[in-house]
A and B are shown apart, each in its own frame.
Chain A
């Protein structure tokens, strides 16, 4: 066995161990991530977290032949610019990110974006860098109760089986519902109301007349 192969086997073993330790769903980096592994007793099907949207750079004003804006890598600009630690709104900026709406508490850009990595990755509160694909851990460091609820299946949409011995399950990622920059759930038009033969007299506090 070559030294290379030993290292790679060791890496695989470590990954397996890591996965084995994570009993239920977690915020692992790989996507789709297999979290609920086979248990010794009954065969349990996996719970898969759907791949979250990952930023593919920053759109520019230039359009490609399909009419879509051409993206630039973050590092294309940020490699040559020093980070401003106090920037918290796109209006503070002279260029780029102009249309970005930001409504996420008192955070600034570098609260979550890793300036040391030219903004190509995320940054945990302790300064460690985090790939965009692993964003759930970033969210979880502040939104612990939501993350706990998520882990216990009482937050975030899902499809599949309640009985994991019979089949697997797919779960939404935080970012499927929450825009990281403006995480409040958006307002939208609901599905049509039931068409009762005799419409109830609206008794709500708000007048509908």
Chain B
């Protein structure tokens, strides 16, 4: 009924399947695998769904009643949502950290795990996109952003660049993940022509998404705290920490929930990346602060408010010192190979770095850009319950997607999901 593929499965196919017929079948069966698991899995998915529902409801109320339900104001016009967006883009860029050693340096052992980094990137891009959508005052006018139908202020507006690169990155990573999974599912060796160019493209693209996101901020002359050429390199360096740290956590979770065995070398490579990147990140942060504080110009006002408070207002001081502490302790742990042998220490170090960078890029970078305001008024900001709910919902939904992706990857890897495999147990 359909054309047989030229390469038949080395796993002993008892039938050949045409691509046209088999791809939808692959998707259907993926759905089956994705919704199947033990009680721990169901518990986890139910929990994530519940949080996502709370977030969705909070967002719907926000759309109905206006952004007055957030604690943003005309002085601090971006808050937790855009903070989370910035972190998400970093995480997505960090997802390709596994790709670089795997392909640039031909690290064969990494090849197995590249797909996990790509899956993290997909989920992180989803998180970033959702974070922007919930920040819109008029999400119903989303179509105005679609090139061709709406009005796209390209190339002038950096936001249009961001939309392009984020969507492009999502497409590239979805293609790589989908292709590799599907080939494995068919039991065929992936054709390098169909994914290696995209992998290299995704490496360049990963750098570009975070650079463009930094340019969103550093291109604004009226905001001296952001208006620094170091922002893009700092963003990249911190992304090279949060991404691999997150992937390490995913690997941990995979190890404890599946019987997927792999060598410890990829994890070691990631830890090395984290060490170097964190050192570079902290150096750049220090260099930035030195320039601000030593010259003592008016440009230091935001940094002064952030680190020490200003005119009795100290809203961000606990945040930033928490971030500094977590980053320093996390980095110290990553520099102690023996301690890192213990799983709990490794998890703690990863979590510390992730939270530290989440704060550093969000509450420690996006928010102080607005405090003091362009006319030097100090209006403080702390997220409202709605903002926390919506942000938690976005995290939960993205984790849900990531869980499904990882589950599929694991199922394909263990050949539970295979074109020739019997149906689910």
Contacts and interface: CB of A to CB of B under 8 A. Distances in A.
Does A touch B (CB under 8 Å) in the complex? yes
Interface of A: 196-203, 209
A199 B379 contact: yes
Contacts of B74: 196
Interface of B: 68, 71, 73-76, 310-313, 372-373, 376-381
Contact of B377 (A197, A200, A209): A200
A203 B378 CA distance: 8
Contacts of A201: 310-313, 377-380
Given A197-B73, A198-B381, A201-B380, 9 more contacts: A196-B74, A198-B379, A198-B380, A199-B379, A200-B373, A200-B377, A201-B311, A201-B378, A202-B311
Contacts of B313: 201
A193 B312 CA distance: 22
B42 to A, nearest CB: 43
B73 A196 contact: yes
Contacts of A203: 310-311, 372, 376-378
Contacts of B380: 198, 201
B125 to A, nearest CB: 32
B378 A196 contact: no
Contacts of A199: 379
Given A203-B377, A203-B378, A198 B311 contact: no
A197 B311 CA distance: 19
Nearest to A199: B379
Contacts of A198: 71, 73, 75-76, 379-381
A197 B379 CA distance: 10
Nearest to A197: B73
Task: Indicate the member of A196, A200, A209 with the most B CB atoms within 10 Å.
Answer: A200
A172 B274 CA distance: 71
A209 B379 CA distance: 16
Q: Nearest 9 CB-CB pairs, A to B?
A: A200-B377, A201-B378, A201-B313, A203-B311, A198-B379, A200-B379, A201-B311, A198-B73, A197-B73
16 contacts: A196-B73, A198-B71, A198-B76, A198-B379, A200-B75, A200-B373, A200-B378, A200-B379, A201-B310, A201-B313, A201-B377, A201-B378, A201-B380, A202-B311, A203-B311, A203-B378
A202 B376 CA distance: 10
Contacts of A196: 73-75, 379
A199 B76 CA distance: 12
A209 B75 CA distance: 22
Nearest to A202: B311
A99 B68 CA distance: 55
Nearest to A203: B311
Nearest to A204: B311
A60 B381 CA distance: 62
B237 to A, nearest CB: 33
Contacts of A209: 312
A201 B311 CA distance: 7
Contacts of B372: 203
A103 B130 CA distance: 67
A201 B75 CA distance: 12
| Residue among A197, A201, A202 having the largest count of chain B Cβ atoms under 10 Å | A201
Contacts of A200: 75, 373, 377-379
Contacts of B312: 201, 209
A199 B313 CA distance: 12
Contacts of B68: 197
Contacts of B376: 203
Counting chain B CB atoms within 10 Å of each CB, the highest count among A196, A198, A202 belongs to: A198
A198 B74 CA distance: 10
A202 B378 CA distance: 8
A199 B312 CA distance: 13
Nearest to B380: A198
A157 B71 CA distance: 40
A204 to B, nearest CB: 9
B19 to A, nearest CB: 57
Contacts of A197: 68, 73
B239 to A, nearest CB: 32
B301 to A, nearest CB: 10
A120 B140 CA distance: 73
A150 B373 CA distance: 36
A11 B373 CA distance: 64
B300 to A, nearest CB: 15
A63 B74 CA distance: 56
Nearest to B312: A201
A200 B378 CA distance: 5
A197 B75 CA distance: 10
A200 B312 CA distance: 11
Contacts of B75: 196, 198, 200
B166 to A, nearest CB: 31
Nearest to A209: B312
A32 B8 CA distance: 102
A193 to B, nearest CB: 12
Nearest to B301: A203
B1 to A, nearest CB: 65
Nearest to B74: A196
A199 B380 CA distance: 8
